[in-house]
Structure 1
Amino acid sequence: MFNSAVLESITDINLLTDMLRAEFSLEDWEAMVHIADKLHYSIKKLYEEDQLRQAKEQPRVDTKRLKRSVAFYFGYSLVMKGIALQKMDDYAAARDCIEKYSELGWISGLDEEGKEDVAHFKMIAAANTYVLNLLEGNMETLPEYVQFIHNAEEEELLPGIITILESALVHNHNVDWALDEFGAELDALDGEYETEVNIRYYIDHLYLMALYNLKKANYSNALNISLKALGMSDKLKDDTGYKKINALFVSFSEHATKEQLNEYNALNNKILERVLKDEKGIKYDGSSFVSAR
């Protein structure tokens, strides 16, 4: 659980970055705002101290402990804060963050890595401007956004699909044509993700796809997607995703076929067998508990 007092005592910039990723995985938006602010303050303090030392012709601040460029930490803190504010429906504040990380070229002394990070965040700013436009209901920009996703880096695919689905759900739009544009790429995804951020995106796109189909009363498709999402959430150890997808399936299980219910029950039996494996004196045989002695 997030603790603001503990946060104040943390000075490790790399640790703050890891904490942001973790809170994103847990979907704790308020915690993300606080941690992002602390990360931004910390990197700003380090940068300004380094600039002051240079002006006084003193030894520069040791930045060897940083895993990435100074530009990365400035941009990352603002991106993550903007995402959290967007999730909290504070679009004006999210746009303010986008404006700040859209141009980080003011940072002096950038090496090639730093310049690449500046360019990367400029691209992210363009993407997230489309995101806010769509979430605010400006669906006229959807064709432009679809083309942007086609032309952007591969990592923009899942965030882009999530945005399209979120905007469709909020504003009750049919976006089948846009989803069809990326059908082959989405079908090719295998769910082999390792980072918390990528796992979150992968599971959330399935969750939203299920919701989108439910809203259109495509129950069979929605429940099949939910079953896939449950299996992948379990495989990827994503408890956050599993909880909400499980609630979704149970809530609409009256529309499930016998085959879908059997698949759901088989998955839960497998999970129960696994969690009880280390319990002493008890064994689950698939239908009941028996003595393991």
Structure 2
Amino acid sequence: MFNSAVLESISDINLLYGLLQAEFSLDGWDAMVHIADKLHYLIKELYEEDQLRQAKEQPRVETKDLKRSIAFYFGYSMVMKGIALQKMGDYAAARDCIEKYSELGWISGLDDEGKEDVAHFKMIAAANTYVLDLLEGNMETLSEYVQFIHNAEEEELLPGIITILESALKHNCNVDWALKEFETQLNALDGEYETEANIRYYIDHLYLLALYNLKSGEYFNALNIALKGLRMSDKLNDDTGYKKLNALFVSFNVHATKDQLEAYNALNNKILRRVLKDEKGIMYDGSGFVSAR
């Protein structure tokens, strides 16, 4: 749970980066805003101290412990704050964040990595401007956004699909054509992800796709997608996603087929066996508890 007093005591930039990723995986939007502000403050303080030392011809600030460029932390802090504000519905404040990372070329002394980070965040700013336009109901920009996703880095695929689905659900629009554009790419995803952020995107796109199908009355498709999401969130240890998908499936299981219900029960039986395997003296045989000797 987020603790503002603990945050105040943290001065490790890399640790704050990790905390932002963790809160993102937990949908911790309010915490993300505070952590992002602290990260931005610290990297700004470090950068300004370094600039002052250079002006005085003193030894530069040591940055060897930073895992990424200074430009990266400036951009990342504002990207994550903007995402959190967007999720909380404060689109105006989210746009202010976009403006801050859309052009980071003012940072002096950039090496090749830093210049690449500046270009990357400029691309992210363009993407997130489309995101806010769509969430605010400007669906006329959807075709432009679809083309943007096609031309962008591969990592923009899932965030892009999530935006398309969120805007469709919010404004009651049919976006079947847009989803069809990326059907092959989405079907090729195997759910093997290394970062918490990518796991979050992968599971959330399945959750939103299930909701989109439910809203369209496509119950069979929706519950199949929910089952896939449950299996993958269990495999990827994503408790946040599992809770949402489980609530969705249970709430609409009156529409489930016999096979879907059996698949759901089989998954939960497997999970129960797994969590009980280390319990002494008790086992689950699929229908009840039995003694283990």
Partner residue of 1:23?
Answer: 23
Letter in 2 for 1:73: Y
Asked if residue 132 in structure 1 is aligned to residue 116 in structure 2, the reply is: no
Partner residue of 1:147?
Answer: 147
Residues 46-100 of structure 1, C-alpha deviation per residue, up to 9 Å, x if partnerless?
0000000000110000000000000000000000000000000000000000011
Partner residue of 1:182?
Answer: 182
In the TM superposition, 1:134-283 aligns within 5 A as 134-283=134-283
C-alpha distance in 1 between matches for 2:34 and 2:81: 8
In the TM superposition, 1:66-81 aligns within 5 A as 66-81=66-81
Q: Note the C-alpha offset of 1:244.
A: 0.6
Partner residue of 1:37?
Answer: 37
Residues 164-197 of structure 1, C-alpha deviation per residue, up to 9 Å, x if partnerless?
0000000000000000000000000000011000
SS of 1:237 mapped into structure 2: coil
Give 5+ residue unaligned stretches, structure 2.
none
How many residue pairs get aligned? The number is 293
Letter in 2 for 1:225: I
C-alpha distance in 1 between matches for 2:218 and 2:194: 31
Superposition CA RMSD, Å: 0.3
Residues 254-286 of structure 1, C-alpha deviation per residue, up to 9 Å, x if partnerless?
000000000000000000000000001101111
Partner residue of 1:13?
Answer: 13
Give 5+ residue unaligned stretches, structure 1.
none
TM-score scaled to structure 1, two decimals?
1.00
Partner residue of 1:117?
Answer: 117
C-alpha distance in 2 between matches for 1:275 and 1:100: 46
Letter in 2 for 1:91: Y
Residues 220-271 of structure 1, C-alpha deviation per residue, up to 9 Å, x if partnerless?
0000000000000000000000001000000000000000000000000000
TM-score scaled to structure 2, two decimals?
1.00
In the TM superposition, 1:78-117 aligns within 5 A as 78-117=78-117
Q: Note the C-alpha offset of 1:146.
A: 0.2
